[in-house]
Chain A
Amino acid sequence: MNVLVLPIALPLFTAAVLLLAPSRPLLQRWISFAGACALAIAAVLVFVRVERDGILVLQLGGWPAPFGITLVADVLSAMLVVATAVVGLAVASSAFSGVDPRREGFGYHGLIHVLLMGVSGAFLTGDLFNLYVWFEVMLVASFVLMALHRTRAQLEAAFKYVALNLIASSLFLTTLGLLYGGTGALNMAELATILPACENTAYETILAMLFLTAFGIKAAMFPLFFWLPASYHTPPAAVGAVFAGLLTKVGVYSMIRVFTLLFPGDPAMLYTLLLAQAGCTMIVGLVGALAQRDFRRILSFNLVGHLGYTTVGVALGTSAAMAGSIFYILHHIAAITNLYLISGVFLRLRHTTSLTELGSIFRERPLVAILAAIPVFSLAGVPPLSGFIGKLALVRGAFGAGAWWTGGIILAVSLLTLLSMARLWSESFWKTAPHGDKSRLPGVILLPIAFLSAITVAMTVAAGPLYQLAMKTSDQLLNPALYIDAVLKGGPQP
């Protein structure tokens, strides 16, 4: 099953080639784009194999689990790797409309691919320590991407970002130490056979709380989300897009993976806390978004708020809620990445993303406005777009699980999202701008935006099959025996 290693090896290969190739901008962009295409093909290949053969397992170096490092792809991992590749394609193609020359000279394209490698690695690994390593790969790449240009605001943002993420990483590492000391295992499948049977509830609870805190910081959950709105509005649009689309989702994915495997339904305190956190995240995120007057800051707070949606599923632990969350994750990756890329259009046209300076786009550039309307209204949850379907699935899941409060919060927060997005739309596209455009807009800048808008539309049109897939994923997640057997007893082998 060597195909599993391709989503990790290909970005590394691309990054190495980018280092060796002459540093001519156009050449670098094409290599980066070709690498992203290869990654997309590999991701789809993995997905197709998983769909056909069930959970795929690769024992790296031929060392059998639990002794070596295992790569595992179930439907959730495979879907998220495809989403990673889609974001990679969009970001790689957005480079054709121009990258800050200082960034490009310092290996911007290579770093993007290292970041993609880290994200794919985190989605595919079956080993907790290896997951930590991928977190570090992502952190290092994203820190350099954020701090490369070194304007004052960017450096300040990068400092906050790194400081809080380092705390999360060290917490994660401490937890791994406790876990390894107590159980002697780091392979997730092996842990899933040890921990749920463990009699020592205090030990389990401590581990669960530490994981919740570490992943909570990574996933920007209330009350540990402050680093995100403090930093995500400063890097260039394409970098912000890949951060917003992927990095926090890795935190959410880790929660889903670790909690369903290691703590299935127990300790109950973990799930109560997580549900409360998800609710608070939604409310605080969207209330924060309403208070902002800058396009990218509004997006940052919306991102935080919607991360609450993506964790409701694992907190409730029912099949329908989990499927709703998974559908929402996929929808959200496409929509939020796209919106950050659209902020790049504003930066190009008006050199700012402050809402007061924006406007007139709908009249002067209808194509941009139409393309942007899709992610804006999809995020707002306007029917029939994918965001609406995701929210509907989540609300049904929450009410179905008897979580009336959570369902109510989801509905109320959806209204706040609608309000926030409607304001965003009318201020940045609809109203008459105080000043005219400053620059010309290269047509290529619209390519990745059109691509992602098309993906959102496709998710809307194919919502039925996609929801079926999400149901299949959540059934797989809620039945950890499948995962454990595939890794330890060898499911379909190479």
Chain B
Amino acid sequence: MTTTTSLILRTGARVLMPLLLLFGVFLLLRGHNAPGGGFAGGLVVAAAYILHFFAFGLDAARRALLTRPERLIGSGLLLAVGSGILPALFGRPFLTSLWFDPARGIGTPMLFDLGVFLVVIGVVLIMTFTLAEE
């Protein structure tokens, strides 16, 4: 597959991939009070891998992901549920926000967002990879 894609696409993808990944994480981190968040960040990261898949083929994209997308969904769900259960352990209602450092937005909502982030990456990539195989 690598031979069929253009040199421009491959070079562009190589440069853009790290930028997109960084941008995805940036969106995730600023998302609590500003536009962004786990969902948007997850989509950007998934887009980075899709670009990689267009440029270098399915196997390369799977290798670059380092894990199976199902794993990402599973761990994302666990994180999200965990962020809800954590306050319950302190006797507060499920999903109550607990803040470690509210000024920087570090607390259970961030954990929840991280869970969403992972689930979105996993879901989008599982769909893309499955479609690519057929």
Interface residues of A (CB under 8 A from B): 1-2, 5, 9, 12-13, 15-20, 58-62, 107, 494
Instruction: Tell me the B73-92 residues at the A interface (CB within 8 Å).
Output: 73-75, 77-78, 81, 84-85, 87-88, 91-92
Inter-chain contact B75/A494, CB cutoff 8 Å: no
Closest B residue to A71 by beta carbon equals B94
Beyond A13-B78, A19-B73, whether A5 also contacts B92 by CB under 8 A is: no
Cα distance, A62 to B109, chains bound together (Å): 13
B92 near A62: Cβ-Cβ < 8 Å: yes
Q: Find the A residue at minimum CB distance from B77.
A: A16
* Pairs A–B under 8 Å by Cβ, sample size 26: A2-B88, A2-B93, A2-B94, A5-B84, A5-B88, A5-B94, A9-B94, A12-B77, A13-B77, A13-B78, A16-B73, A16-B75, A16-B77, A17-B78, A18-B74, A19-B70, A19-B73, A19-B77, A20-B70, A20-B75, A58-B93, A58-B94, A61-B94, A61-B95, A494-B91, A494-B93
Q: Are B93 and A59 in contact (CB under 8 A)?
A: yes
What 4 new A-B contacts, CB under 8 Å, besides A5-B84, A12-B81?
A: A16-B73, A19-B70, A62-B87, A62-B92
Are A16 and B88 in contact, CB atoms less than 8 angstroms apart?
no
Q: Say yes or no for B14: interface residue by CB 8 A criterion.
A: no
Question: Within the complex, what minimum Cβ distance (angstroms) separates A405 from chain B?
Answer: 47
CA distance A494 to B93 in the complex (A): 8
- In the complex, the answer to whether B85 meets A9 with C-beta atoms within 8 Å is yes
| Cβ of B2 under 8 Å from chain A | no
Bound-state CA distance A60–B88 (Å) is 10
Task: With both chains docked as a complex, state the minimum distance between the C-beta of B115 and any C-beta of chain A, in angstroms.
Answer: 10
B residues near A (Cβ < 8 Å) are 70-71, 73-75, 77-78, 81, 84-85, 87-88, 91-97
- A62 & B93 in contact (Cβ 8 Å cutoff): yes
Most chain B CB inside 10 Å of its own CB: which residue of A13, A19, A60: A19
Report the separation of the CA atoms of residues A107 and B123 in the bound assembly, to the nearest whole angstrom: 14
- The total number of A-B Cβ pairs within 8 Å is 56
A59 / chain B contacts, CB cutoff of 8 Å = 93
Q: Are A62 and B77 in contact (CB under 8 A)?
A: no
Known: A9-B94, A60-B93, A60-B94. A19 touches B74 (CB 8 A): yes
Partner of A20, one of B74, B84, B88: B74
Contact of A16 among B81, B85, B96 (CB under 8 A): B81
- Write out the residue numbers on chain A whose beta carbons fall within 8 Å of the beta carbon of B88: 2, 5
Do residues B81 and A19 form an inter-chain contact, with CB atoms below 8 A? no
If over half of A's interface residues share one DSSP class (helix, strand or loop), that class is named, otherwise mixed; here it is helix
Give bound CA distance, A9 to B77, whole Å: 10
Task: Give the distance to chain B from A218, nearest Cβ to Cβ, in Å.
Answer: 26
Residues of A within 8 A of B75 (CB): 16, 20
A178 to B96, CA, bound (A): 30
**Which chain A positions have C-beta within 8 A of B73?**
16, 19
How far, in angstroms, from A1 to B85 measured CA to CA in the complex? 13
**Nearest opposing residue in chain A for B74, CB measure:** A19
Q: Which residue of B lies closest to A16 (CB)?
A: B77
- The closest CB in chain A to the CB of B91 belongs to A494
Report the nearest A residue to B108, measured CB to CB.
A61
Closest A residue to B93 by beta carbon equals A62
CA of A310 to CA of B11 in the docked complex: distance in angstroms? 65
Q: Which of B71, B84, B92, B94 contacts A19 (CB 8 A)?
A: B71
Q: Tell me, in angstroms, the Cα distance from A392 to B82 when the chains sit together.
A: 47
Closest A residue to B115 using CB positions? A16
Give chain A nearest CB distance to B56 CB in angstroms: 27
Q: List the B residue with the shortest CB-CB distance to A494.
A: B93
Output the least CB separation between A414 and chain B (Å): 44
Inter-subunit contact B81/A61 (CB<8 Å): no
State in angstroms the CA–CA spacing of A15 and B77 once bound together.
9
B88 to chain A: closest residue by CB = A2
Chain A nearest Cβ from B68, distance in angstroms: 9
- Chain A neighbourhood of B97, CB < 8 A: 61-62
Point out which of A17, A58, A62 has the most chain B C-beta atoms below 10 A from its C-beta. Answer: A62
A9 to B82, CA, bound (A): 9
Residues of B within 8 A of A5 (CB): 84, 88, 94
A16-B94 in contact (CB<8A): no
Chain B residue nearest to A58 (CB atoms) is B93
Q: Once the chains are docked, how many angstroms separate the CA of A20 from the CA of B84?
A: 19
Q: What residue in chain B is nearest A20 (Cβ atoms)?
A: B74
Nearest-CB residue, chain B, relative to A61: B95
Task: Tell me if A20 and B71 are in contact (CB < 8 A).
Answer: yes
Closest to A18 in B: B74
Q: Which residue of A lies closest to B82 (CB)?
A: A13
Give the chain A neighbours of B91 by CB distance below 8 A. Answer: 494
Shortest Cβ distance from residue B86 to the other chain A in the assembled complex, whole angstroms: 11
Chain B residues, CB < 8 A from A15: 77
B70 CB contacts on chain A under 8 angstroms: 19-20, 107
User: In the complex, what distance in Å separates the CA atom of A5 from the CA atom of B94?
Assistant: 7
A417 and B68 alpha carbons, distance in the complex (Å): 51
Residues of B close to A17: CB separation below 8 A? 74, 78
B71 near A61 with CB under 8 A, answer no
